[in-house]
Chains A and B, each alone.
Chain A
Amino acid sequence: MTAAWRYAYASVAGTSHDKNGSPCQDAGSCRVVEAGAGGSILLAMASDGAGSARRSEEGARLAVALFLDEFAEACRERGILAIDRPFILAWLTKLRRRISARAARTGTRAGDYACTALGAVIADDRAVFFQIGDGAIVISGRQHAGDYDWVFWPQHGEFANTTNFVTQRDAARALEIEMHLGAIDEVALFTDGIERLVLDLRAKTAHAPFFRPLFGWLAATQPPEVSDTSPALLQYLASKQVCDRTDDDKTLIMATRRPAPTPATAHAAAAKSASAV
């Protein structure tokens, strides 16, 4: 009982960036492609440019653009089975080469483009996820309906302010990949900026009362005609509720193919989220 993919995404500069005038160093995008052999495949990527790296917003945009180009082409031609470990590693290598070439051309260093990468490729009955760095990908719970599971826990080193980037020498070693068999109807990708708001770090769980109402809202929207930032999500990420708790850049990408909730179930979902507050 699946419907077409509806998705929404937005990246918002942190309030600390507003103060010192630096740009939003996050990037993220989402799109649905039709596989040649039939069926649609959802592609989503979020990337967080490192705060201290001078051109990290360019790195993040490069990562997202190259992901959409390469993965969309492969999925159209060969379906999701084209997306295996060697394919993802080849994408990473190509991204690193592009970054090195741009660095050489502009007299900068590859490290100036340091960014994370969180990718999701979801077909009808299987999915591929991968990640380098912090932030996380959350999917509808495999055990209980209404719960949410994270795919990879954010990669933080021993300390709160360390993580991995696509530009580091051993990026391929930091790359985590998960192949998932079975249908996935809901997925969210987000960068480090809202990690502490939507993951319970003590219980090591995804915070369902955050995701449940947002997915309910998203299911009631229409599939976007063109891939573009969602004004509603943008406004939410820039809201006081969020900015009081994080001064960092934040990106949130959400997609669902659950049927739109009926008025009765929507009401129940709203009541449930209200009681959780």
Chain B
Amino acid sequence: MTDDLISNDQMPFPTPDIVGNPEPRCPCLLLLDTSGSMRGKPIAELNAGLVAFKDELTADAMAAQRVEVGIITFGPVEVQSEFQTPDVWMPPTLRAGGETPMGEAIERGLAMLEERKKVYKQTGLSYYRPWIFLITDGGPTDDWKKAAALIRAGDNNEKKAFSLFAVGVENAKMDVLAQIAVREPLKLKGLRYRDLFSWLSSSLGQVSRSKPSDAVQLNNPVTPNGWATIE
């Protein structure tokens, strides 16, 4: 194509070499409740949602190169996936059981995110403001006050260390979630995990395309057709 470029009398327009820079990264941390109450259909729907999440992220060329998924489950706290791009990330098959140590999971997740940012900085990768999705069907069974303070310290307009979204499922303690998250927690309609992850995938795709100062217009999930309600 560039061979056809207009040439002047003295010298044809050259085809310069361009740099193969690594893509900027858009980290997304999932903090998932896998406590005993998730047994049966809820955990099966969550697992199916994760598989759909991978499929949709991989189908979006930009998101496939830029989004990095990390997963920590709680019941007990366990790192299921370190941050990876969707092409190499394998959705885990989660099992339900145990308590709901949400406070510990948040603290562990924020530490994992800080570690990842260090790697980005060391290797010269640029990155977008990370997203954290906290999804639970209950309430914390451990001390969550410190975790809530850490969230307030990082998820604000000055620090902008990350954006945390809390999603309650079925009998989740929405009042406690409201004290943990800065943003108003969302309530999942029924067990529509797949719709949630489909929305998350397309939203991350939008973020990973955004340019300086672009205000990313996310689809509101709180609509009659959306996956969430606000209580």
A161 interfacial by beta-carbon distance below 8 Å? yes
Provided the pairs A160-B127, A210-B16 are in contact, do residues A232 and B8 lie with their beta carbons within 8 angstroms? yes
Contact of A165 among B18, B160, B207, B213 (CB under 8 A): B213
Q: Report how far A240 CA is from B207 CA in the complex, Å.
A: 24
18 A-B contact pairs sorted by A residue (CB < 8 Å): A50-B214, A51-B212, A161-B210, A161-B212, A162-B212, A198-B19, A207-B18, A207-B19, A209-B16, A210-B16, A213-B17, A220-B10, A235-B6, A236-B5, A241-B15, A242-B18, A273-B16, A276-B17
Provided the pairs A159-B127, A202-B124, A217-B13 are in contact, do residues A114 and B213 lie with their beta carbons within 8 angstroms? yes
Residues of B within 8 A of A241 (CB): 1-2, 15, 18
Contact of A52 with B214 in the complex, beta carbons under 8 Å: yes
As a 0/1 sequence over residues 196 to 229 of chain A, the CB contacts with chain B under 8 angstroms (1 = contact) are: 1111111110010111111011001110000000
Provided the pairs A221-B10, A241-B1 are in contact, do residues A161 and B128 lie with their beta carbons within 8 angstroms? yes
Which single residue of chain B is at the shortest CB-CB distance from A114? Answer: B213
Residues of A within 8 A of B207 (CB): 161
Residues of B within 8 A of A16 (CB): 209
Contact of A52 among B1, B8, B19, B215 (CB under 8 A): B215
Residues of B within 8 A of A20 (CB): none
Which residues in A have some Cβ–Cβ distance to B below 8 Å? 16, 50-53, 114, 133-134, 156, 158-163, 165, 192, 196-204, 207, 209-214, 216-217, 220-222, 231-232, 235-236, 239-242, 245, 247-248, 260-261, 266, 270, 273, 276-277
Contact of B128 with A51 in the complex, beta carbons under 8 Å: no
CB of B227, distance to nearest CB on chain A (Å): 26
Interface size class of B (residues with CB under 8 A): 35 or more
Q: Report how far A207 CA is from B20 CA in the complex, Å.
A: 10
Q: Report how far A260 CA is from B160 CA in the complex, Å.
A: 51
CB of B157, distance to nearest CB on chain A (Å): 12
Residues of B within 8 A of A196 (CB): 19, 21
CB of B144, distance to nearest CB on chain A (Å): 27
CB of B129, distance to nearest CB on chain A (Å): 5
B11 interfacial by beta-carbon distance below 8 Å? yes
Contact of B5 with A235 in the complex, beta carbons under 8 Å: yes
Contact of A202 with B212 in the complex, beta carbons under 8 Å: no
Q: Report how far A159 CA is from B127 CA in the complex, Å.
A: 5
Which single residue of chain A is at the shortest CB-CB distance from B14? Answer: A213
CB of B77, distance to nearest CB on chain A (Å): 27
CB of A166, distance to nearest CB on chain B (Å): 12
Contact of B13 with A216 in the complex, beta carbons under 8 Å: no
Residues of B within 8 A of A158 (CB): 129, 160
Contact of B18 with A210 in the complex, beta carbons under 8 Å: yes
CB of A176, distance to nearest CB on chain B (Å): 16
Q: How many A-B residue pairs have CB under 8 A?
A: 132
B123 interfacial by beta-carbon distance below 8 Å? yes
Q: Report how far A222 CA is from B22 CA in the complex, Å.
A: 37
Q: Which 10 A-B pairs have the closest CB atoms?
A: A209-B17, A220-B10, A213-B14, A160-B24, A202-B124, A163-B212, A220-B11, A160-B126, A197-B18, A50-B213
Contact of A232 among B13, B15, B209, B210 (CB under 8 A): B13
CB of B7, distance to nearest CB on chain A (Å): 8
B41 interfacial by beta-carbon distance below 8 Å? no
Contact of B127 with A245 in the complex, beta carbons under 8 Å: no
Contact of A160 with B1 in the complex, beta carbons under 8 Å: no
Contact of A53 with B213 in the complex, beta carbons under 8 Å: yes
CB of A180, distance to nearest CB on chain B (Å): 25
Interface core residue of A52, A200, A266, A277 (most chain B CB under 10 Å): A52
Q: Report how far A162 CA is from B7 CA in the complex, Å.
A: 38
Contact of A156 with B126 in the complex, beta carbons under 8 Å: yes
Q: Report how far A26 CA is from B116 CA in the complex, Å.
A: 34
Interface core residue of A235, A240, A276 (most chain B CB under 10 Å): A235
Which single residue of chain A is at the shortest CB-CB distance from B15? Answer: A241
Contact of A161 with B2 in the complex, beta carbons under 8 Å: no
Contact of A201 with B129 in the complex, beta carbons under 8 Å: no
Interface core residue of B11, B19, B22 (most chain A CB under 10 Å): B19
Provided the pairs A52-B213, A162-B212 are in contact, do residues A236 and B13 lie with their beta carbons within 8 angstroms? yes
